[in-house]
Structure 1
Amino acid sequence: MSEKHSPSILEWAGGPEALERLTTTFYGHVRKDPLLAPVFAGMDAEHPQHVALWLAEVFGGSQDPRRYTEERGGHPHMARQHLGRGITEEQRRRWVALLLDSADEIGLPTDPEFRAVFVYYIEWGSRMALIYSGENPPPIDAAEVPRWSWNQTPPWIPSS
């Protein structure tokens, strides 16, 4: 890599293939988890690949394509998947813990800078899922897919 090119989070993670390994492993664990399995009981067989596409867009940086938006409908589609699900804080925490355990299991990078950015998004995103699944979700068309990068995260300002 040239000195002028800073790799995206996606590149640092190992590319889309690494995220597919992550989500395949993770949802394999979710299917067996007593707390999360009921939430994902009707999960489409391609759900892990769809989530990998989402994460690739989130972590891809400005130079990478927006495949999730083009193929799946972007943020509005993702937000709609959570409406009315009534996710609990306990389920959110288990989801985060299993995802981080899966990241270790498949060998995602463990350097502090990568993991800090990765965990920051996973915490933020899972809390947004909690908000969208609750009684008073924000408008689903109010945001685009967030784009996470080194030392930069998008602010979320709730509507009043």
Structure 2
Amino acid sequence: MRPTLYEFAGGRAAFRALARAHHRRCMADPELDHPFSKPDQHPQHTDRLADYWAEVLDGPPHFSGDCGSHTEVLVMHGGNGDMSDLGRRFVDCFVAAIDDAGLPDDAEFRAALRAYMEWAVADVLAHEEPADVPAQLPLPRWDWNGLR
């Protein structure tokens, strides 16, 4: 049986490394550094982000158990106007962070992660008004074949 994307990546430690690497890349980007350097950012932002990505990619339910539903994620990140270039830059930082974090160098695995992140950015951008986000959306689930 094929491992989940979470297992193939290397588990929770791999996602923590990925979130830290992604955060560093976003902070170094002249356009992304502003939203990533907000003074009200949660002190465990990168760990929570790692748990979110891990759970979406078939890892344990640490994020939903501790932080809430997909609704909270969309409300927090939505409603920021035209972010198309920021979305592209965010995906580019994510893809580069996969290398930085030392995740497996497997074309199919990396294509699945990139496809997930492109979908996730589009999902955030689709919610222009936080008030329009449905309540208690479950976390999406993504596998080797895409959104389930």
Aligned pairs for 1:82-101 (under 5 A) are: 82-101=77-96
Aligned pairs for 1:33-52 (under 5 A) are: 33-42=29-38, 43-52=41-50
Deviation at 1:32, TM superposition (A): 2.5
Q: Does the C-alpha gap of structure 1 residues 107 and 13 become closer, same or farther in structure 2, counting only changes over 3 Å?
A: same
Deviation at 1:54, TM superposition (A): 0.4
Aligned to 2:21: 25
Of the candidates 138, 146, 149, which is equivalent to residue 140 of structure 2? 146
| d(CA) in 1 for partners of 2:96, 2:121 | 15
Aligned to 1:7: 3
Of the candidates 123, 126, 145, which is equivalent to residue 128 of structure 1? 123
Tell me if structure 1 keeps the 8 A contact 2:78–2:130: no
State the TM-score, normalized to the length of structure 1. 0.82
Of the candidates 110, 115, 138, which is equivalent to residue 110 of structure 2? 115
Deviation at 1:138, TM superposition (A): 4.6
Residue-pair matches, total: 146
Letter in 1 for 2:37: A
Deviation at 1:72, TM superposition (A): 0.3
Of the candidates 39, 58, 65, which is equivalent to residue 60 of structure 2? 65
Q: Does the C-alpha gap of structure 1 residues 135 and 71 become closer, same or farther in structure 2, counting only changes over 3 Å?
A: closer
Structure 1 unpaired stretches of 5+: 155-160
Q: Deviations over 1:41-96 (max 9, x none)?
A: 22323111111000110012xxx531211100021111121132225110000000
Structure 2 unpaired stretches of 5+: none
- Paired residue secondary structure (2:98): helix
Tell me if structure 2 keeps the 8 A contact 1:131–1:137: no
Tell me if structure 2 keeps the 8 A contact 1:36–1:91: yes
Q: Deviations over 1:5-48 (max 9, x none)?
A: 32110000111100100111111221232101112222323111
From the CA coordinates, give the structure whose radius of gyration is larger: 1
Greater displacement, 82-91 / 46-55: 82-91
**Percent same amino acid at aligned positions?**
30
| d(CA) in 1 for partners of 2:55, 2:113 | 13
| d(CA) in 1 for partners of 2:126, 2:49 | 18
